[in-house]
Amino acid sequence: MKRDDLMYWQDRWIQAMGRIGFLLLPQFSMLELFCAIDALRIAARFGNNEQSWHLYSHDGQSVTASNGIEIPVNGKFGQGDIPSILFVMASYEPLITITGTMRAELRRMARYGTLLGGVDTGAFILAECGLLLGRRVTMHWEAVTAFSESYPQIVVSPTLYEFDRDRLTCAGGSAVIDMMLFLIGLRQGDALMRAVAEQIIHPPLRTGDTAQRDSPARRYALCDRRLARVVELMEKHIEQPIPVSVVASEVGLSQRQLERLCHRYLGRSAKNFYLAVRLEKARQMLTDSGRSVSETAFATGFGSLAHFSRMFRQVFGCSPSSLQRTGNRVVPEMLARMPGKASVTSGHA
């Protein structure tokens, strides 16, 4: 049987009935871990099976999640029985946490035949170990730019989860539930999968190819299709911003009509909204990529570093360099859609 045959790999996951492991790296998401474990717990109860799971850390000690709570683990990674399936759970700045021992152990498990998964930025760890070559993966949408710059040979999909042979990656957040429901359905049947979904009140069931992010119309609750198209154009032209007059023309509006729509539905002028879109992209780059502040400024259409820093501080309350040092992604998403929360004085960019 060919190693790229779908039925072969589905059967591999079905037959992997041993322990499921979770390698917890510092600042992992507790939400994602509990979503995974509770889905397995309910499946074990309803399916009358003895499915077990095991938590690992690099040193066998408790791991602090991103919410500051310490989670005890069952053992040190690399010691004891090898799990049949292992998920790497990471979060901010994942590569800082990887060690030579961890790298060697992940490669050893892959050679042994362990099926590997990555949650959120866990894909960075697997990629750094050379374990994602030739696979299609996904991760949280904010981390895609940084990942693609570091591993351009790996295809990234903007989906909830990706099943590609012996790898299963996930965007994180509530998408972990969708991934685990897929795994339960694959291993134990659709009836049990639906029963678990109903028990945790998770309708409708979302397939892996579901997009992570809603369209601009849904994200901003826009009834006017032309304005939704305006947002799409702005999000598409970040590095080389296009004049607002051109944006208006592209969607069949006069600039005055566009301004009225922006003020009514977005709470600010088209120019200020466009500026905030670019600043939000800059925030993502600073926290999830290796780009410098100046590289980030130019990549988001700012010809002046001073102007970029001034606008960034006005919106986010801190300098670009200080945000980059903390690596904190937890900033209210898209302040541009929150009228009155953070005004932006535009000026020339």
Q: Which residues, 6 or more positions from 14, have their beta carbon under 8 angstroms from its beta carbon?
A: 186, 187
**How much is the CA Rg of the chain, to the nearest whole Å?**
22
Buried b vs exposed e over 195-219: b needs ≥16 C-beta within 10 Å? bbbeeeebeebbebeeebeeebbee
Predicted pLDDT at 154: 96
Predicted pLDDT at 212: 78
Give me the residues of the chain with pLDDT under 70, please: 1-4, 17, 326-349
- For the chain, what are the domain ranges? 6-199, 216-337
202-205 contacts, C-beta under 8 A, 24 or more apart: 202/177, 205/178, 205/181
**Which residues are paired to 162 by β-bridges?**
169
Retrieve residue 262's tokens.
């922006």
Is residue 35 within 8 A of residue 177, CB to CB? The reply is yes
For the domain spanning 216-337, the CATH number is 1.10.10.60
Does 6-199 match 216-337 in CATH topology? no
Predicted pLDDT at 3: 53
CA distance 131 to 117: 10
Predicted pLDDT at 337: 36
Predicted pLDDT at 287: 78
pLDDT tens string 279-325: 988 888 887 777 889 999 999 999 999 999 999 988 888 888 888 77
**Which residues are paired to 57 by β-bridges?**
76
Answer left, alpha or beta for residue 48, where phi above 0 means left and psi between -120 and 50 means alpha: left
Note if the pTM is more than 0.85. Answer: no
CA distance 326 to 339: 27
Q: Which fold has domain 6-199?
A: Rossmann fold (3.40.50)
